[in-house]
Chain A
């Protein structure tokens, strides 16, 4: 097990290197130019050439990549092209933290509500509560942000007047309620459906019949045999979903005025802000590596049949 984790971790830097190189190439060979974006509709080849030189964009691509690599290894992600004079670390750091907290709140919400609802539906399999939950979750799962967000704003802000409409104060501030609900509602529905389906599947297994035949109480059957096995697919999805915590949610963030990373990321892509794009890509790639590792290790504990040697 230890050797397995170590091996996985050792491969990570190589993976990140490949990811960064591909991103770098795509950025520089794709259409659009960061300096031209700064100048907007003003066109002046002399200015573009001068600023390219100042930013080092006139050097051969591999030299540029080498410089980028050297700086990154020293922990220097450079300065944003668009937000000039501001370091990438400063621009990204706080916002990734804000977005992760919001994502985490939404995830916890989906788990706390999704799993019990799904279990309940599975227990009532085929009867009306099951049908109601299955169809209800389908509706909630399909609700887009631009329906839920304005509805919540109308309800909580304009009608009840109990919540401010925008802003951010961390995990334990009331302003997290609406955005977490918006992001959590599809999550609740999704996890409920998944829990219900895998529970129904597990309930039909021979070992459940065996357990009941042994005379175990229903509580023990459910707790020890059903739940644990039914959670494997849910765990996979949630585990990989951990990686999306750092990507931010642009629409939700914009609706509720949350200073998250989503907006910055989209802006950076559109304005060809290479240093920000590179840093974000690395962070997101690393998050996927870590999330995958967590899922693989988690399997080992959920399912004794899985061994890593």
Chain B
């Protein structure tokens, strides 16, 4: 009896301690920013950044990404991995609740994963993010009702089995496709997502499609609750710089047109200008390695050696981007600062042309066409203009440009009809598999360049299941070096949010390279 009371006192003390700390930091206020109307607020249908940014604030899953981009527990407190590294046993938090106060149980997790994998849900992301779980593909094909690899052990324990010891599985679970929903909420109405009952740091307070969306602090959030009262996202557009200068929004990106004015030290705005680190994104020119003349590795390499990316980045793009020489962006797991890229070397480029099987005279080659996606008659981009000019002036190669709108571009890309194309890839989860395996394994459906190298395949396959992180990253770095040398991609830039104006009273708005629930950290200084 006494023991029990003691325990109770101890527990209360712990609870008090844990709930006091965040309360002391609560500051209130509203953050206002522009955003795009999200195509959906249903986590299982989320497939783009405009929805992702909102969904990660309203909902949550077993695991999430922290501000330092590490996988941390969310609805789970801990997990145990079996010796064969295929079975994950998650223990759920006892204090995790949906916004309406209902506790989250293992059955909610199982139901949510099965709902994501139900063909009627029409998720476009479930194959990618949950496809490693045993039974998901069978369920998607309508061959089973349940996901056999997901077992409820008790109310607060759930076991998930995957098909191979894949080190990146937990990373994938941080994506909204694996988020936990409340069955009653989802089954109540077709448009349930207008009144979502999530588990995230914010509740949806108001959503007027096309106009505004307001998130409201969830004071009972099981991790650290937000410091703001509300975050308002304006969805109808506007003129960002005017809205910022007129104090109607707290932050905005700065385009090239306004950059000189804002950077001028005479302008008080220059003190509010921040530079974001590059996001987990690499823009590149893809080259179909089966199409002449790009099937000759020497020509691909010569094209890479003939452009001076550092000069373009500083002189043409005002250093809003960083020149890219590798596939993985800086700061990304397994990023290799010692990677040897194909830098500007005109002599090498000319020698390679002479050695190539098509000969030194580009006029006798098959034509090269670069296809660029673009909408509403946008220009092809100053950087591409500069690259085309360098090819022409340095090597005498005239590359034709063809601009098509995005939907057509995707269709052409998927049917491998493009010889050379301009594109960028943004990581969905922080793991090199999401860049290298996806684009360069010869069997990957996303291998747009038809690049195929047995050694690269072997390295990528070994990396999938390698347990030791260091050894695993080393495998990826070896693969990346081969890929860079053989140049199916000509990496161009590590873009980012670039320059951002943030009002001085806004604190701890994190400029992170990937979508992470981050608004709970923000506060407004009085």
Which residues of chain A have a CB within 8 Å of any CB of chain B?
Answer: 31-33, 35-47, 50-51, 54-55, 82-86, 90-91, 94-95, 149-150, 153-154, 157-158, 161, 164-168, 253-259, 263-264, 266, 270-272
Contact of B239 among A38, A255, A259 (CB under 8 A): A255
Contact of A166 among B40, B48, B238 (CB under 8 A): B238
Contact B124 A150 (CB under 8 A): no
* A255 (CB) vs chain B CBs: closest residue: B239
Contact A32 B410 (CB under 8 A): yes
**List of 6 A-B pairs having minimum Cβ-Cβ separation, nearest first:** A32-B407, A257-B238, A166-B238, A259-B210, A31-B408, A259-B236
Say yes or no for B42: interface residue by CB 8 A criterion.
Answer: yes
Which residues of chain B have a CB within 8 Å of any CB of chain A?
Answer: 37, 39-40, 42, 45, 47-48, 119-120, 122, 124-125, 127-128, 140, 190-191, 193, 208-211, 234-239, 242-243, 245-246, 248, 375-376, 405-408, 410-414, 423, 425, 445-446, 448
Contact B48 A40 (CB under 8 A): yes
Contact of B242 among A37, A165, A167 (CB under 8 A): A165
Q: Which residues of B contact A263 (CB under 8 A)?
A: 210, 236-237
Min C-beta distance of A256 to chain B, whole Å: 7
Contact of A32 among B128, B140, B411 (CB under 8 A): B411
Can you sample 14 A-B contacts with CB below 8 Å?
A: A36-B414, A44-B128, A83-B37, A157-B246, A165-B246, A166-B234, A166-B243, A168-B236, A254-B237, A255-B237, A255-B238, A255-B239, A256-B238, A257-B238
Contact A258 B47 (CB under 8 A): no
Contact B246 A158 (CB under 8 A): yes
Contact of B246 among A46, A164, A255 (CB under 8 A): A164
* A50 (CB) vs chain B CBs: closest residue: B119
Q: Which residues of B contact A50 (CB under 8 A)?
A: 119, 140
Contact B128 A42 (CB under 8 A): yes
Query: Contacts A55-B122, A157-B246 known; A41 to B410 CB distance under 8 Å?
Result: yes
* A53 (CB) vs chain B CBs: closest residue: B119
Contact A36 B238 (CB under 8 A): no
Contact B410 A270 (CB under 8 A): no
Query: Contacts A43-B446, A168-B236 known; A36 to B407 CB distance under 8 Å?
Result: yes
Contact A158 B245 (CB under 8 A): yes
* A33 (CB) vs chain B CBs: closest residue: B411
Min C-beta distance of A40 to chain B, whole Å: 7
Q: Which residues of B contact A150 (CB under 8 A)?
A: 239, 242
Contact B445 A157 (CB under 8 A): no
Q: Which residues of A contact B405 (CB under 8 A)?
A: 32, 270
Distance between Cα atoms of A39 and B425 in the complex (Å)? 13
Contact B191 A257 (CB under 8 A): no
* A261 (CB) vs chain B CBs: closest residue: B210
Contact of A264 among B210, B412, B425 (CB under 8 A): B210
Distance between Cα atoms of A253 and B446 in the complex (Å)? 37
Distance between Cα atoms of A271 and B408 in the complex (Å)? 10
Q: Which residues of B contact A90 (CB under 8 A)?
A: 209
Contact A47 B127 (CB under 8 A): yes
Contact of B446 among A37, A42, A82, A84 (CB under 8 A): A42
Q: Which residues of A contact B245 (CB under 8 A)?
A: 158
Min C-beta distance of A96 to chain B, whole Å: 12
Q: Which residues of A contact B125 (CB under 8 A)?
A: 42
Contact B140 A158 (CB under 8 A): no
Query: Contacts A157-B246, A166-B243, A264-B210 known; A42 to B124 CB distance under 8 Å?
Result: yes
* A161 (CB) vs chain B CBs: closest residue: B246
Q: Which residues of A contact B408 (CB under 8 A)?
A: 31-32
* B448 (CB) vs chain A CBs: closest residue: A43
Query: Contacts A54-B120, A55-B122, A83-B40 known; A33 to B239 CB distance under 8 Å?
Result: no
Min C-beta distance of B420 to chain A, whole Å: 16
Most chain B beta-carbon neighbours within 10 Å: one of A35, A40, A168: A40
Query: Contacts A41-B410, A44-B127 known; A54 to B119 CB distance under 8 Å?
Result: yes
Contact of A270 among B248, B375, B412 (CB under 8 A): B375
Distance between Cα atoms of A86 and B189 in the complex (Å)? 12
* A91 (CB) vs chain B CBs: closest residue: B209
Contact B406 A37 (CB under 8 A): yes
Q: Which residues of B contact A42 (CB under 8 A)?
A: 47, 124-125, 128, 446
Min C-beta distance of B298 to chain A, whole Å: 28
Contact A259 B211 (CB under 8 A): yes
Contact B48 A165 (CB under 8 A): no
Q: Which residues of A contact B193 (CB under 8 A)?
A: 85
Contact B40 A257 (CB under 8 A): no
Q: Which residues of B contact A164 (CB under 8 A)?
A: 246, 248
Contact B124 A258 (CB under 8 A): no
Min C-beta distance of B30 to chain A, whole Å: 16
Most chain B beta-carbon neighbours within 10 Å: one of A45, A83, A253: A83
Contact B127 A41 (CB under 8 A): no
Contact of A33 among B47, B248, B407 (CB under 8 A): B407
Distance between Cα atoms of A150 and B241 in the complex (Å)? 10
Contact B246 A258 (CB under 8 A): no
Min C-beta distance of A284 to chain B, whole Å: 19
Min C-beta distance of B380 to chain A, whole Å: 17
Min C-beta distance of A296 to chain B, whole Å: 35
Most chain B beta-carbon neighbours within 10 Å: one of A43, A44, A157, A158: A43
